[in-house]
Structure 1
Amino acid sequence: MSVRGLPKAGAVRAGLGAGLLAAGLLGTGLLGAGLALAAATFSPAFAAAGDTTPPGAPGALFHCPLPAAPGSGLGIGVSLCWGAATDDVGVTGYDVQVKQDGAFTTIRTTTGTGSIVSGLTLGQSYTFRVIARDAAGNAGPPSNEVTASANYLTGVPPSSPPPSPTPIDRTPPTRPEGLGPYSVYINGAAGLTWTRSTDDVAVSGYEVYAWIDGAFGKVPAQISEQAGDKVLAIVGDLTPGRDYLFYVVAKDAAGNLSAPSDLARQRAMVEPPVAGPSPGTGTDTTPPGTPTGLTSVTGMPIPNGVFLAWNTVSDDSGVPPKYDLFRRTGHGYAYEGENGTPRDIVSGLEGGKPYTFQVVARDAAGNLSYPSAPYTAVAQPGETSSPSPSPSPSSGIACTVAYTATTWGGGFTASVTITNTGTTAISGWKLGFGFPLASQRVTNGWSAVWTQSAAAVTAENYEWNKTIKPGQSLYLGFNGAHSGENPSPAAFTLNGATCS
């Protein structure tokens, strides 16, 4: 989630006592339910051309309550302090991040080692962390996480405090169940139906999200509650005949959001309805089969991750479809990437914690299958694993590498296809390439052990995919971050041999 269009407000200075910070509140904006947060920008005093070394982690982050200062008028929020980070050139600022929908979002940038986050909900808990940056834009590892409850920033309540809910409602509605398609005869519209959610006070409404151009986003919907326990929604302004994935979240008056519904697939209506394509027309409107059998694969260590596999599905085109894997988060879904084979390794999870997944098949024409049944897997503990030994360079390898990236603001997902064009099998492999820009970096990947040092990236095989037979292709990929442009790597090597 990103914060856009923050309206400017007057600067406010607040003393934190001897040795504490001075914080400027340069703007406020709405983030989620009643979350108005201060934001600021800064310009580095110098540029560090060619600097690819990120800063270290900030020192211990802690909640540093403001001293009593009646009349300072800072409102309701949290004050934070941390130790300075180090860098080979120099730290130019810190990103203050808050956890929202299971992910951290930057809500304030400051040059000091402290920050005030105002405009919060009295009594509500928020989780924060801090990341240091240098003049070249390199971001270091995050600090420890701190959870603090919002309170009066003056240290004492005002003489006439505004009324607050008693007790504060922190209970979210139940997640919408039974999401599925509903037929509507409106050109470019898709109909959905689900079972009404419940809440300890009352459900105030629902939010509908659609998978469009590689990301889920909230879409306008006409929502009506029917007799019994059913809810109907009509989502318009879609591309007629195109398949979409949807999920729904319930909300209450206090701004609490439910867990998301299961994923559902629906096709936007073409009005008037048209018959299926005639043989030989070249128009493919038939979706692939629905993936089944989603389960965990055991016997291979995946620290802080899971190894998932499912049954292969077919498509009427005769070309094997691709698979898109989604992981359920607090109030939505995270995209875990595209796969050419019916399996995936998801890393970067919390060991011992359960995670729920669904997979969708997609053919070359863009038709989507119905999502698989949800499957919950427990991430393996974060023990140190030993990947296969690095293979020795071989001049006898013949290979091609195809690299494609789907890019959005600040991030991207890359798909990499390795093909053995030689006449002998490759047993054990190590892919290497370099990013053109220092700001490009791998955040997490699948189907390989991914590492990065400065701009150099390597991907090494797991035991289950160490062999690439002649003529065989191997599909892997990763999620990444970037700043500005996101050019593709120019060259790839496999076990030291250059691939075309």
Structure 2
Amino acid sequence: MRSRTATLLVLALAASQLGGIPIVQAQEDPAAVRVTVNARAGLESVGDAAIGVNHAIWDAQLGTPEVADLLRDAGVQAMRYPGGSYSDIYHWRDHTAPGGYVAPNTDFDHFMAGVQRAGGQAIVAANYGTGTPQEAADWVRYANIEKGYGVKYWEIGNELYGNGHYGSGWEADDHPDKSPAGYATLVAEYARAMKAVDPTIQVGAVLTTPGDWPDGLVTSGDAGTWNQVVLSIAGPVVDFAILHWYPSGTGAEVLTKTDRVPDMIRLARQQIARYAGKELGIALTEINTSYGRNTQPGALFAADAYATLLQNGVFTVDWWNVHNGPDTASTIGGHPDFHDYGLLSSAGCLSDGTVCQPPLNTPFATYHGLAMTSKFVRTGDQFVVAGANDPLVKVHAARRADGGLAVLLINEDPDVAKPVAVDYAGYAPAADAQVLTYTNGDTAISTTTGSAASLTLPPYSLTTLVLRPATQSTGPSAPARPTATTVTDRAATLTWPAPAQGAKYEVHRQNGTVSEQWGETTGTTFTVRNLTPSTRYTVNLIARDGTGRVSWSSPPLTFSTTTPAASTCAVKLTNANDWGNGYVGSVDITNTGNATVDNWTLAFDWPTGWQQMNSGWNATWAQTGATVRVAGADHNRSLAPGATVNVGFVGAYQGPNVPPAVFKLNGVHCTTR
């Protein structure tokens, strides 16, 4: 690598596109990866259960002092019990799981002793599959009334969509009605019984993860998909939604799939708002990867996935799991991998005895990935927008209550070190930084002092910069999240509580890693005009007082403008039949104008890179890149005023199936119905 020197330039850009936000830039090596951190573009904040793990009652190490201390040292905040599908066969009072193995000293009190020693909190999955609402209510009474454990989060069952209703069955479910309606009706009963004991608890219902089986499926007799039915019935009485995520593929494939998280969580929120009619928290209570579970790819994936999920508002992310055991042996990145779901070694051997794991409780790389994440973000920190111009360098950043800023840099290239130059918008750091590094094959995270503006990322590495401000300054309090009270195709009115006396609010739009100031006001509303129809916008508020001091950013507001209020065409896309990774799309195209449209062509773009059109009918279909073009056939190429033509296609997807936002007929932006 070329050596380079860097100096810090603090530029006050009063008339810049960042609306007066200072930028700190590094004179850069031309070969360096350009990283931008925009401290004024706020994302979501970190809660007190953010970094979690799963415990299982078949793990004899559950709750032991050594394990509790290791989890404490890794910054684990939440521990889920009693472990995956065992949740639906476990009876807490007599500590039995008919049909499964229960290790000694893994009962609820032993579990809670480990949780308390680690300084965390519990997430408990009540038995839905073979249990009753009364059994769950009694557990709440024992935990919170008799023992005073203060368990806040209670799930109702585990992956109940896997009870055979959609053909595949791995989850115990003794109920005669295994439909989503059957589950949701009983979940509401569970929630009412448990909250009658302790009204302060929060109860979660199992949903399918957008883009993962059986998302989108509707079976005979159901009123809709699993999520639609569960949210419609149980949504009004529960407090959070439960998702699980196990992305698969090669190392390179898995590491790119964190890019799917924003769409995954956004679609889940849309379903919640539409069918539950209120906001619900989102908990991702199981996550793991198919590649490099015990080696560096797993560590990189864990850190990136946790940060991406948390900055998108998931309140807890729980790794599956603490111990599991070896499955197969391989060498990944030059180090042994046992395809073990656990964070810590079980000291097990393969069935033929040829390969054995390291000593019991030896941390695997993924353990250090979680530890790095906990050193990067802490309770109360607010994520801010960050990015890089190299797809193999992932970047996350967060502001701290003490005025500091932390930046997590992930080099996913297994072979090449990456020199990096960091630009800061809205934040002026001191020249030096604390540098935390975890590289391929390390057994611990190292700490050194380095530059805030330039560094070199080793291959396959995690690096966190912990920065302090060049000068301490206390600004106004951060504004609350704005709301969009009126949204049309070209305008939106935003509202918020009144700012403090003498302060004004600036309205900033996030555009990649850049903030664009839309305007400012001392009032409580702001209307932005000249927007683009069918477009998603994310905005923040910044408070500025009379001396020019600025606040942290508000939490973000994301809204979408509507399709054109007036157009000469309308399009309706219907998912006519879905099978989990593909579907039949039915498209109605209507001429809403006064003139006949001859030789029509409809065009739309897939919003993601994992969606495509496989075949189509009743028209000529073609896809180039992300763009699909549909041309009328001989028998329907002419559309009279008021006429509708129906065409269809087979679509495929390998992630969240995001519907296209814009349809254009002969170049005219159509209304979407």
TM-score normalised by the chain length of structure 1: 0.30
TM-score normalised by the chain length of structure 2: 0.24
- Hey, which of these two has a bigger chunk of strand by percent? 1
